[in-house]
A and B are shown apart, each in its own frame.
Chain A
């Protein structure tokens, strides 16, 4: 995104700096928020601005980051996916379900070789994404409702697999990526970074990425340009589900257990990361760069609130207020941009 934004900037020198800044409000505001929050916590707590703590923040946002990659595609198309956390959960549980557990784990599971367990789990989340895609494009159910149903369906599959029990073992590849480090850097951070980078490359440099922006920018025009809009919408729903599934598998390894409802907070966190970062809820504007800033805002906020002495119940309220502020900026930025374009 960054390169095309700057190219646009040089082309539009005529319209003046003020108007340019207004049109870039959605990219600037989240960045300023991040700087402000970091400065505030660094000032309020000596333990915040340390290398160790930076590592903590990175690790804490990794699972959210992996899930948010796919969600960014969905929101860029002006759709929403509420089933991300449930799909993450069921995929994490599935990969444990296909792994041999210790004898004290009371689950009637099906142990399989690790590679096959991982493959089956990815197929599972892709299949759930495909159901979302078909509901949205073939039947025409709005994504908000379709994925709300999928949220329940995926939770239901999770419940049937673990039946209230907890599984611990996952294939060794997953447990390595989820819970160990290389050269002091946690693998999960590396995976998140690679996926974010991959998402960015796809959105910026591929034909598919361009289609995502165009479908989000003006769906009717995309259709009148002869794009297969349904195919693109279907694809983003599957991408979202697969990213969620990967996040879920690594998350289970990271937490050390697979159980019902363990990803519930990731739904809101992922949506917040994408939107706080400045990706437009109306589609067509934003990108992975924005999502990364959003992840850091969220990570710094969650982590920083632990470093200052604050009522842990108040934390929830503060997070809500920050999210509200971001939504206001998001909608406002859209309006400013439209004004700047006139």
Chain B
């Protein structure tokens, strides 16, 4: 850290807990004016919590918070905004039905003496700002008509030009194409020269190393190191993120894990040259019976879209799905289900009926097998009871509304609904996200049982542990393309991160 400059923002000994769980433990963090500060760490390491404290979203925490050397306490995000702090969140938050110019000036459109919006001035100024950013669009066009990457750039531009002194960018590059990333970086560098302090959070460590001056690494709610970007490397950062020889639980993941020889069982699903707009580019792979194929990649790498295509919820622009030798175009999720494909999406809310009892949640996807016209509630309850027993769902009461169960047990119900008549291909998105260790192990054992029964299983996750603990073969997806396949070779968390 260069000496002599006073930090624009300084945090000392920040501790923050959520319901007894410490998300941040005694974190120090300083941000200098005219600095691009990279932040890396695994999901749940505490990066986002810290940024939300800075942006005034979380207002309850212990520790000192200084701006320009003055103790400060924000009571809301508005306070933070007034102090010149702006944040671009990972999820796009634009108004797609408004014009580009309106989005750039959202909330502070130029008005005349009567309070009417000065459209011409707004369009001109928006156009000027955007062209400085290298974006050439008609300021009066509808934002929603532009590609997602461009929309994201415009949102970033809005925040960058809002006059904020401190700008926080959370995963800004995940939806951007390489030339767009270049434009973003050029702008960030220009702002740095003007004295703006920028925090840049990303999973893409190359991006961090290229654009930032300083990198801070977080692990388990602690700041592990802070180094000059020029003095470190991707490997060193990954090591710091994972923590070699650290906690016992992580031990197995830092060691190399030997992947088995690829299975030569029959191919259940063959995916050939699948493409979808900006999300997927020429993705090809095979899933075999009795094998778990892991697909790892960062948030926004195209996993979600891929899983939706496999289950007939999205239609690809190009490419084919071949299920057991027959090319398929799924017109609906019902067609995918009939072809023997099952999907457990990452959000339980999206696949479960919280106001309905457990047994109806389990039987819904197999009703057409157990009844043609009339329902057979006794049989439904029997089936549900068997699943509840097998998967050890607690409490074991099938008449209970699903909403009364814990998250881990809900996830088991989400699995149970596909297991009475197991599908040929089971696609699991983030199967262990947000679960405690016990529930995680239960799910891992269930998946292994299913593999032993000969199902083809695809596990998609943004958490390396999930993929490593389940998969026999691993594909790494990066910005919509398969960049690496691990099979019959040693693999570890840092190798995965290195590839992604």
Contact = CB atoms under 8 A, between A and B. Distances in A.
Given A205-B374, A217-B356, A284-B355, A225 B365 contact: yes
Contacts of A53: none
Interface string B234-258: 0000000000000000000000000
Interface residues of A, number: 34
Interface residues of B, number: 37
A307 interface: no
B219 interface: no
A337 B403 CA distance: 11
Nearest to A221: B351
A214 B403 CA distance: 15
Interface string A219-232: 01111111111110
A286 to B, nearest CB: 12
Contact of A227 (B334, B350, B400): B334
A284 B404 CA distance: 18
Interface string B398-430: 011101100000000000010000000000000
Contacts of A214: 353, 356, 360, 364
A231 to B, nearest CB: 8
Interface string B351-393: 1111111001000110110011111000000000000000000
Interface stretch (A7-15, A156-164, A179-187): A7-15
A342 B367 contact: no
Contacts of B267: none
Contacts of B371: 207
Interface in A197-230: 205-207, 209-211, 213-214, 217-218, 220-230
B373 A228 contact: no
A342 B399 CA distance: 16
B313 interface: yes
A225 B400 contact: no
Main secondary structure of the interface of B (DSSP, over half): mixed
Contacts of A220: 350-351
Contact of A228 (B332, B342, B353): B332
Nearest to A224: B351
A169 interface: no
A224 B349 CA distance: 10
A69 to B, nearest CB: 19
Contacts of A254: none
Contacts of B368: 207
A226 B374 contact: no
Contact of B364 (A7, A225, A230): A225
B345 interface: yes
Interface string B271-309: 000000000000000000000000000000000000000
A-B pairs with lowest CB-CB distance, top 6: A226-B337, A11-B399, A228-B334, A224-B351, A341-B403, A225-B365
16 contacts: A7-B399, A8-B401, A206-B373, A206-B375, A210-B375, A217-B353, A221-B352, A224-B350, A226-B334, A226-B337, A226-B342, A231-B334, A284-B353, A337-B355, A341-B354, A342-B403
Interface of B: 311, 313, 332-334, 336-338, 342-343, 345, 349-357, 360, 364-365, 367-368, 371-375, 397, 399-401, 403-404, 417
Given A15-B404, A225-B351, A226-B311, 18 more contacts: A206-B373, A207-B367, A207-B371, A207-B375, A210-B360, A218-B354, A220-B350, A221-B349, A224-B350, A225-B364, A226-B342, A227-B365, A228-B333, A229-B332, A231-B334, A284-B353, A341-B354, A342-B403
Interface of A: 7-8, 10-12, 15, 205-207, 209-211, 213-214, 217-218, 220-231, 284-285, 337-338, 341-342
